[in-house]
Amino acid sequence: MRFLKIISAAFLVSCSPQEQGKDAGKVSDSNSSSEDNTNQDLIMSDLLTAFWNVENLFDFEDDPKTRDNDFLPDGKYKWTESKYYQKLDRIAQVMNDFGDELPHLMGLVEVENLKVLEDLVKHDDIRKAGYKIVHKESKDQRGIDVAVLYNPNYLALIEFEFLDIDSHSDKSLFSRDILYASFKQADGSVLHSFTNHWPSRRNGWKETEHKRLAAANTLKSKLNDIKIKNPDAQILISGDFNDYPDNKSLFEVIGAKSIKDKSADLINLAFELDKDNLGTITYDGDWGMFDMFIVSKSLLNKTSLGCEKEYNEDFQRDYLLYYDKKYKQNQPSRFQGIDSLEGTPITWRYIFI
């Protein structure tokens, strides 16, 4: 019996299965388009996948090509070697709290470079996973990138591509690419994954909407290419979209709908959570759902019978939270050289489907 277990920045989804037909630690070379021997034996297991905006995972060394001055020993956050490694410790702590084992596939955003990823996967509490890395320097002027970690014992990388969202914009947006990667699974099927970090709403939602629409159309174009070759392709989309599930970029352009919409080809697993006023971020005391998973109906059908929400269970860790006296509620803690973990959500909503 196989399960698909998904942990987003605020929730976990697992699907009860329907009947199925029948180099640890090496860092992937991000300059090649393929990496693994897809004929290797893979472990048949529940597939655990996660996404996390680790929010400004910077090293403490100056990169003259990026705006990293705040994250230097003499910068705004007094970002020292000690604070950097403390942040890695806390990230490793959270990753180990995701479940009984470390995620097999994990999308990360807001990482400065390959070095911070290498330092993370070599961490004593994580190295056992033997993660490989898919990464590329982005055009983002802050110097933050998109990356994927994957366990080669469960997934074999077939190919990857960084999708430039400028391809659907009339001018350069200086933002992150969308990371597409396809993996062979133990049963021989192919998983098509997309890791996203769409342009922010800084300077206003309406004023910046065209940037997220460019990202959405870039993603949609690649999805169309995949669906032409295989209408039943298994697709997993994760990310920090800086938009809500019912915004035009996700609902209209991508066509990601509620699990209750039987006609939908792409299911936004956060849609109903958002309607229940759950979220992964807070702004002026209000929760919002920016981080989410979207899956193809074919992937959902492979791992479930019907997939109806049965129950929710809150999962909290004290080190993820602080109490905001102004709004009189717990808020996600932030780590900018202080004593709590930055970019970590307050509540882990476990949704068993």
3-class DSSP state of 318: helix
Question: Average model confidence (pLDDT) for the chain?
Answer: 81
Q: How far apart are CA 180 and CA 237, in angstroms?
A: 9
Between these two residues, 8 and 206, which has the higher pLDDT value?
Answer: 206
Is 217's pLDDT higher than 60? yes
3-class DSSP state of 157: strand
Q: How far apart are CA 172 and CA 242, in angstroms?
A: 19
Alpha helices in the chain (DSSP H): 81-97, 114-121, 205-229, 248, 271-275, 297-303
Q: Count up the domains in the chain and report the number.
A: 1
- Residue carrying the six token digits 């970002």: 79
Residue 4: phi and psi, rounded to 5, are -105, 120
Min mean pLDDT across 47-51, 149-153, 190-194, 284-288 is at 284-288
Take residue 196 and report the two structure tokens written for it: 């996203």
Is 29's pLDDT higher than 50? no
Per-residue confidence band for 209, with pLDDT thresholds at 50, 70 and 90: very high
pLDDT at 26 (0 to 100): 34
Take residue 154 and report the two structure tokens written for it: 């469960």
Is 316's pLDDT higher than 70? no
**Domain of 260, in residue numbers:** 4-22+25-352
Could you report the per-residue pLDDT of 271-311, keeping only the tens digit for each?
988 888 777 777 777 777 898 999 999 988 765 433 333 32
Could you report the per-residue pLDDT of 44-102, keeping only the tens digit for each?
887 888 888 888 999 999 999 889 999 999 999 999 999 999 999 988 988 887 767 89
- Report pTM: 0.85
pLDDT at 9 (0 to 100): 42
What's the CATH code of the domain at 47? 3.60.10.10
pLDDT at 163 (0 to 100): 97
pLDDT at 305 (0 to 100): 30
Tell me which amino acid residue 130 is. G
352 burial type by CB count under 10 A (0-12 exposed, 13-18 middle, 19+ buried): middle
